[in-house]
């Protein structure tokens, strides 16, 4: 009998909020790699708010549909190779889907350096760290002394973006839900101040946190927080549009913030959307910078590792509800 491959299937597309029962676990035969392919085993699945956005429609990838093995990227290890480009034991970060094994074309796979702990390849040296790095530095263009606001600041990308803002000499203001997360941002990660978007006086908190206005807003959430930040932006401010998690866990996104495009014009703002893949050519320099900051202690890495393939659905639902601090991932096997 063929060896098995446990998979999590998106049983049906959600109407409204995603729940664990939108998924089901199945067992399939372990795939065999074809010509030019590798068989990989999944070590750590990355969980990302974008996973939910893929259920809403086509984004930078085609939309998911009911019955698909749930899409997702993982740190994975090559266990069989039909290509000279990768050898057994090599590590890759790949769109394996939510399963233990995947047969993948070697095209577009890059061997990763074996940096320990391996989880760092999913967090600070992975998509989260690189997204924070390029989004803040290229789209945000922060200058020392400026005020940088980061939303979803306790999340994987936000927690790094805010710390990079500090490294660059900026005032870092984190927007997160609840006072406990806020304390963590300030006391553990060194943000100057945190603002609770769930508080009734959120807009006042934001104004008080930014007495000289906002120069750079790193937007992970869209919606009302983007709107509040728009109204506090300084002329010639920059908004790095990284994501819109406030709009993902439902049906179609709501209409955008008031003030678009009015404030964009009158304050001469620049909003720039980006996806981390666009910066592939500058990856090495980014990893070097990130490593040096981690080694000097300027950049603290916080990871939120959950055990077991079967926990992927609840881990994603929790992420969408803000349960995580730092990079959430699921350890599938090691």
Is 270 in contact with 216 (CB distance < 8 Å)? no
CB of 175 to a second copy, least distance (A): 15
Of the candidate residues 20, 111, 118, 274, the single one contacting a second copy (CB under 8 A): 274
**Residue 276 found at the interface with a second copy (CB under 8 A):** no
CA dist list (Å): 304 to 287, 301, 319: 21, 10, 10
Q: Are strands 37-46 and 327-331 parallel, antiparallel or unpaired?
A: antiparallel
Q: Which of residues 55-94 bind a second copy (CB under 8 A)?
A: 59-60
Regarding 278 and contact with a second copy (CB under 8 A), the answer is yes
User: Out of 1, 2, 144, 252, which residue is the one contacting a second copy (CB under 8 A)?
Assistant: 252
Query: Can residue 254 be called a binding residue for a second copy (CB under 8 A)?
Result: yes
Q: How far is the CB of 313 from a second copy (least distance, A)?
A: 24
Closest distance to a second copy from the beta carbon of 138 (Å): 11
| Closest listed residue to residue 311, CA positions, set 75, 114, 25 | 25
Contacts of 6 (CB under 8 A, 6+ apart): 25, 26, 27, 99, 100, 309
Site for a second copy in 191-230 (CB under 8 A): 219, 222, 226
Yes or no: say if 197 and 151 are a contact pair by the CB < 8 Å rule: yes
> Cα–Cα distances in Å, from 215 out to 137, 175, 220, 226, 262?
13, 15, 16, 14, 17
Q: Provide the 8-state DSSP code for 136.
A: I
Q: How far apart are CA 321 and CA 197, in angstroms?
A: 13
What minimum distance in Å lies between the beta carbon of 98 and a second copy? 22
When the beta carbons of 46 and 220 are compared against a second copy, the nearer one is: 220
When asked if residue 300 is in the footprint of a second copy (CB under 8 A), the reply is: no
> Does residue 281 belong to the site contacting a second copy (CB under 8 A)?
no
CA distance 179 to 144: 27
Nearer to a second copy, 132 or 299 (CB): 132
Q: Which stretch binds a second copy (CB under 8 A): 29-37, 200-208, 274-282, 321-329?
A: 274-282
Question: Which is nearer to a second copy, 272 or 302 (by Cβ)?
Answer: 272
Give SS3 for 36: coil
Is residue 275 close enough to count as binding a second copy by CB under 8 A? yes
3-state SS, residue 171: strand
- With CB under 8 A as the contact rule, the residue among 165, 209, 263, 309 that binds a second copy is 263
Record the tokens describing residue 278, joined without a space.
């666009």
If one asks whether residue 269 binds a second copy (CB under 8 A), the answer comes out as yes
Least distance to a second copy from the beta carbon of 244, Å?
Answer: 5
Q: Which is nearer to a second copy, 2 or 252 (CB)?
A: 252
Least spacing, CB of residue 293 vs a second copy, in Å:
25
Helices marked H in 95-222 — which ranges? Answer: 127-134, 156-167, 179-187, 202-209
Q: Which residues bind a second copy (CB under 8 A)?
A: 53, 59-60, 219, 222, 226, 241-244, 247, 252-275, 278
């Amino acid at each position: 009998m063929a060896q098995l491959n446990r998979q999590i299937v998106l049983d049906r597309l959600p109407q409204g909020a995603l729940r664990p029962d939108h998924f089901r676990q199945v067992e399939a035969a372990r795939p065999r790699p074809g010509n030019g392919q590798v068989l990989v085993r999944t070590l750590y699945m990355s969980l990302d708010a974008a996973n939910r956005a893929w259920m809403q429609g086509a984004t930078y990838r085609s939309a998911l549909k009911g019955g698909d093995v749930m899409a997702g990227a993982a740190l994975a290890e090559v266990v069989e190779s039909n290509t000279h480009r990768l050898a057994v034991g090599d590590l890759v970060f790949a769109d394996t889907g939510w399963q233990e094994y995947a047969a993948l074309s070697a095209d577009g796979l890059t061997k990763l350096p074996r940096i320990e702990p391996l989880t760092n390849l999913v967090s600070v040296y992975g998509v989260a760290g690189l997204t924070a790095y390029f989004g803040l530095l290229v789209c945000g263009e922060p200058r020392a002394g400026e005020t940088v606001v980061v939303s979803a600041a306790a999340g994987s990308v936000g927690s790094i973006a805010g710390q990079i803002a500090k490294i660059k000499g900026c005032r870092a203001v984190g927007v997160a839900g609840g006072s406990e997360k806020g304390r963590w941002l300030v006391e553990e990660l060194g943000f100057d101040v945190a603002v609770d978007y769930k508080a009734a006086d959120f807009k006042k908190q934001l104004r008080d946190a930014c007495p000289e206005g906002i120069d750079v807003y790193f937007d992970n959430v869209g919606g009302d927080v983007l709107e509040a930040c728009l109204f506090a932006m300084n002329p010639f401010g920059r908004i790095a549009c990284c994501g819109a998690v406030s709009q993902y866990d439902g049906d179609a996104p709501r209409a955008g913030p008031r003030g678009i495009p009015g404030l964009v014009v009158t304050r001469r703002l620049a909003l720039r959307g980006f996806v981390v893949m666009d910066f592939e050519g500058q990856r090495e320099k980014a990893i070097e910078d990130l490593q040096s900051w981690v080694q000097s202690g300027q950049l603290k890495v916080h990871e939120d590792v959950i055990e077991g393939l079967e926990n992927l659905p609840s881990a994603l639902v929790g992420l969408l509800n803000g349960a995580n601090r730092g990079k959430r991932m699921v350890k599938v096997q090691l």
